[in-house]
Amino acid sequence: MKTLNLILLACVASLSLLTITPLLAQKQNLGLFDGHGDIGDVLKPGSAVYNTQNHTYELSGSGYNVWFDHDEFHFMWKRLKGDFILYTRASLLGKGVDPHRKVGWMVRSSLDGKSAHINAVEHGDGLTSLQFRRTSGANTEEVRSKLTGADVIQLERKGNTYTMRVAKFGEPFVTEQVSDLNLGDEVYVGLFIGSHNKDVLERGVFRDVRISVPAHDGLIPYRDYLASNLEILDVTTGNRQVIFNAPKSIQAPNWTPDGKTLLYNGDGQMYTFDLAKRQSMPLNTGEVKNNNNDHVLSFDGKMLGLSSGVKELGGSIIYTVPVTGGSPRQITPKGPSYLHGWSPDKKSLVFTGSRNNEYDIYRVPAAGGDEVRLTDAKGLDDGPEYTPDGKYIYFNSSRTGTMQIWRMKADGSQQEAITNGEFHDWFPHISPDGKWILFLSFLKEEVKPDDHPFYKHVYLRILPISGEGQPKVIAYIYGGQGTINTPSWSPDSKRVAFISNTAVSSISPVEK
């Protein structure tokens, strides 16, 4: 009997392990979020899944609506305090049943169905709106966007002001705002889906989900910094992937011609980032240790040009060093001199220099020598970069009162504007295949023409090298200074590396 009891106990123990182990193994990966669940008295339970392969979130949900004095829907959430910026590309799946099924971002005071809240939402029939309930159990109010059919949804909180920015991917944002909405400091923030029909489950998918904590009002530029996400963007699809996080400021990724490595700067040092191993390593630049974000690889990838601050020489000085590291060679005798381009034949460097209190574009032999001034217009000329055939130099200039993309022949002749003034456009980068211009666009309401600060709402836009047609937005970013100061195309012209910013408390997870 004793032997039988021992056998029975062993069987029970084994059964327990079989029961418990799968439960432990089933802990769900929710990506950026802490939890999910149905809100209100839904008839059909919803679900939420984070796909670790393509970094998307798929939600299903039912419920009568998010409207009147109470709500029914499915919610994937996390708790946040203070200000934040929520971004995603969202879409409903399938034909659907009700034209007012909906997906979007939501911020709630609680998980109660009657909670005060605000949501930025896309409906099945294309209606895009900002909906909100000021107090628990109050009727829902709505501000409709002028845009219909948005698939890019951003919701920002600053104090008690909520700003919705929506777009059809590729186009600039359209903005609506609600002020004086007090949901409390700590709130539930997340993605949601509702079917507008209690008997139906609808599905939606969210990609490129980002939660950013912006700079606080007291942040002092160039002394205080936010954390950084190193991201890679597929130019055709617009899909983004976070490949590295840094709790400090890293800036301006360069892509080596072999496609294996990125180079960037941080804390005055240069770093290499192995794309296969996802590892970052310091690059030896000898005694030159005050490097900024104006660094450029030669077209063959064998040499690296640096810009490094030297107070005694007037500011940033240009150096060159083998890409493997070593002791840099000084090129410009005085500053400020900010390097931006290397000629395809490796014989010349082009840079922005301040001489006689005027910033213009200069050319200098890559081995050192006399500077040649290429622009002389009043206003800031910056960001010069050669085309792969060496025939043209693209740059940005504020000579017309707004910062625009310009081009000129390599000798400085035939200077002409490429963009038209809708935004302040900076840092043109030519794709290695010579077909596209990539550049950074600041909003006129946020920055002055001759400034390119950190921590603003910016676009990455592309335009055919001919300058024909309207620029297309390929990324909506919280960033600015350091996002793409240097050439950041992959060698196959299919991807772009860039930096986005957020506070450490809400840094995006690295996407394997």
Burial of 444 (C-beta count, 10 Å sphere; 0-12/13-18/19+): middle
pLDDT band at 508 (very low <50, low <70, confident <90, very high): confident
Determine the Cα–Cα distance for residues 351 and 306; give it in Å rounded to an integer.
11
Residues ≥6 apart with Cβ < 8 Å to 283? 263, 269, 270, 271, 272, 304, 325
Q: Are 198 and 47 in contact (CB under 8 A)?
A: no
Residues ≥6 apart with Cβ < 8 Å to 466? none
Write down the pLDDT at residue 6: 38
Share of the chain above pLDDT 90, in %: 92
Burial of 139 (C-beta count, 10 Å sphere; 0-12/13-18/19+): exposed
Kindly report the backbone phi and psi dihedral angles of residue 23, in degrees, each rounded to the nearest multiple of 5, phi listed first. Answer: -65, -40
pLDDT band at 11 (very low <50, low <70, confident <90, very high): very low
Determine the Cα–Cα distance for residues 126 and 463; give it in Å rounded to an integer.
28
Higher pLDDT, 321 or 6: 321
Higher pLDDT, 200 or 505: 200
Determine the Cα–Cα distance for residues 129 and 504; give it in Å rounded to an integer.
31
Structural element, H or E, at residue 3: helix 2-25
Average pLDDT taken over every residue of the chain: 94
Write down the pLDDT at residue 22: 35
Region 35-212: CATH code: 2.60.120.200
Write down the pLDDT at residue 55: 95
Q: Is the pLDDT at 7 greater than 50, yes or no?
A: no
Residue 393, classed as helix, strand or coil, is strand
Write down the pLDDT at residue 27: 61
Report the predicted TM-score, pTM, of the whole model to 2 decimal places: 0.93
Residue-wise pLDDT for 404-454, tens only, equals 999 999 999 999 999 998 999 999 999 999 999 999 999 999 999 999 999
Q: Is the pLDDT at 2 greater than 90, yes or no?
A: no
Residue-wise pLDDT for 365-391, tens only, equals 999 999 999 999 999 999 999 999 999
Region 227-506: CATH code: 2.120.10.30
Residues ≥6 apart with Cβ < 8 Å to 291? 265, 268, 269, 270, 285, 306, 307, 308
Q: Please state the domain extents for the chain.
A: 35-212, 227-506
State mean pLDDT over 259-265. Answer: 98
Residue-wise pLDDT for 445-492, tens only, equals 999 999 999 999 999 999 999 888 999 999 999 999 999 999 999 999
